Amino acid sequence: MAVVINLNGHRALITGASRGIGRAIACSLATAGAEVILHEDVLNTVSEEIKLKGGKAYIYPFDISDVAAIHAFFDKVVKEVGPIDILVNNAGVNLRAPAADMDIDTWHKVLELNLDAAFFLSQAFFKKLRADNLPGRIVNIASLLSEAARPGIAPYTASKGAIRQLTKALAVEWAPYKVTVNAVGPGYIATEMTDPLQKNPDFNKWVLERTPLKRWGEPDEIASAVLFLVSDLARFITGQVLYVDGGWLASL
């Protein structure tokens, strides 16, 4: 018998929701019945897509790397939209350079967006839930590079390794308040951001040979994992990273 996930009565904030994985997550949660708050700079097409399917979406552009302003941003959204009980920390950036040549500005830009923003937005989310005595769900978007490494992306790898451990730390600390914290670790996913890599014959060949299922993943496959983790089906799961990678990490 098919299991239908119903998120009616829930409200979710998804960062980095304008395209790729974030867009798929937003549409998936909205289709399941959640009202969604979409963070990004250009979101009209996503919100219209959701509304055409009968969902409800709110647009809140904001520079999520401005960590000092995150609490004020979150308070503004809650005041205008209502309580939020699902948070998906998806926004991220990957800036490439050899580790020996990495400058301090590039290092900080990646860490601020990928790690600092996720922590302080989770903090704002939790504080509001605790004040209102409400349960909640946080899902962080991790990566294969939470576990492995490739040359040229040291700050990204460091940030995603930290996201894995942050997920565990917050899960343990906030479990008494009925707030679960999990992560999804995408493998190589076919998105606008990875299009140049897909079109690179050598890199594409490496991905297909390295991935046991012999293909790139789809954004909807990440969204399905997030949908599961924010649903009641996962109510006894916290502190976990679910890798959706076609078997990449399991393979030598």
Query: Are the C-beta atoms of 11 and 84 separated by less than 8 Å?
Result: yes
Catalytic pick among 60, 156, 188, 243: 156
**Beta-carbon count within 10 A of 28 CB:** 23
Measure the CA–CA gap between 133 and 192, rounded to whole angstroms.
Answer: 40
Active site residue 156: yes
Looking only at Cα atoms, what is the longest distance across the chain? 55
Nearest to 231 by CA among 141, 137, 142, 140: 137
Measure the CA–CA gap between 138 and 126, rounded to whole angstroms.
Answer: 9
Nearest to 14 by CA among 87, 73, 72, 76: 87
Query: Are the C-beta atoms of 194 and 188 separated by less than 8 Å?
Result: yes
Query: Are the C-beta atoms of 37 and 77 separated by less than 8 Å?
Result: yes
Name the residues annotated as catalytic. 156
